[in-house]
């Protein structure tokens, strides 16, 4: 479980342990991952590990270690990610490199380490945390949306290859989950929590533990996407039927956010 020290990763760790799984909560913030592992309850178990997903060798080493410890690797959750909220012109090349390295290459590194092993052992399941922003446009999150579209594309394409190898692939496409990412990555006056909630017409953020349970249900059923909450599903489906309307609505929303931020 990359990004296992907080947010969706922490919630997934709790849900997996409750379901009887043995989980490694891996994070660049080791104390946070250790706290998650120490607080879980259930028939399974969790331990923490330090890993930087931008380091391909470190990810592969951890996957090898876990698979060796348990004789197989049933599930790989590529969950680590960041967001950058603000106008595209406020992004430096370092910002672009950072979000690509974590949100795209971090997922690629996890897939590269886990997928061949799952093929060799006869099966498994890969879960990649994308976003509702990976299914539609969201201005002021341009770099984030780009990376999450990449994660969705990777997941759906890999799924078509992996099916005959008994390996499932699922992408999590959630919006406005109540995690630290709602309040991080702000590069200008637009406030993250206000943006994420109003952008989806959501009064309260999504409970990460409720989302985690739905993700595990999707894994059991081998579904390709988990799109939550219902407002995100409506916007996604409407965008497929009337893309021009959604783009115009998105443009107006960006204008309102800029005006409100001053």
Provide φ and ψ at 72, rounded to 5°.
-170, 170
Q: Where are the beta strands (DSSP E) in 22-123?
A: 22-27, 45-50, 75-78
User: Is 195 considered catalytic here?
Assistant: no
176-207: buried (b, 16+ CB within 10 Å) or exposed (e) per residue? Answer: bbbbebbeebbbeebbbeebbbbbbebeebbe
Proportion of the chain in helix, strand, coil states, percent, rounded to 5: 60, 15, 25
Supply the angle between the helices 106-121 and 56-70 in degrees, to the nearest 10: 30
List 77, 115, 144, 236, catalytic entry? 144
SS3 assignment for 158-223: HHHHHHHHCEEEEEEEECCECCHHHHCCECCCCCHHHHHHHHHCCCCCECHHHHHHHHHHHHHHCC
> Which of the residues are catalytic?
144
């Amino acid at each position: 479980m990359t990004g296992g020290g907080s947010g969706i990763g922490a919630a997934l760790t709790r849900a997996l342990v409750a379901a009887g799984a043995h989980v490694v909560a891996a994070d660049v913030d080791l104390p946070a991952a250790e706290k998650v592992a120490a607080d879980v309850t259930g028939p399974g178990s969790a331990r923490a590990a330090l890993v930087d997903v931008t380091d391909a060798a470190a990810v592969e080493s951890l996957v090898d270690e876990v698979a060796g410890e348990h004789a197989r690797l049933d599930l790989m959750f590529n969950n680590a990610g960041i967001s950058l909220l603000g106008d595209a012109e406020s992004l430096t090349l370092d910002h672009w490199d950072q979000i690509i390295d974590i949100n795209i290459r971090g997922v690629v590194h996890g897939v590269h380490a886990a997928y061949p092993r799952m093929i060799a052992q006869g099966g498994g399941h890969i879960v990649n945390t994308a976003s509702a922003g990976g299914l539609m446009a969201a201005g002021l999150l341009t770099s984030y949306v780009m990376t999450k579209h990449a994660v969705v594309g990777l997941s759906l394409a890999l799924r078509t290859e992996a099916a005959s190898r008994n390996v499932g692939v699922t992408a999590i496409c959630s919006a406005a989950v109540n995690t630290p990412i709602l309040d991080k990555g702000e590069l200008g006056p637009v406030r993250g929590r206000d943006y994420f909630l109003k952008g989806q017409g959501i009064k309260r953020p999504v409970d990460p533990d409720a989302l985690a349970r739905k993700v595990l249900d999707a894994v059991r059923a081998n579904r390709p996407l988990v799109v939550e909450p219902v407002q995100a599903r409506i916007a996604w489906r409407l965008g497929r039927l009337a893309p021009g309307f959604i783009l115009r609505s998105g443009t107006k929303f960006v204008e309102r956010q800029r005006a409100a931020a001053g």
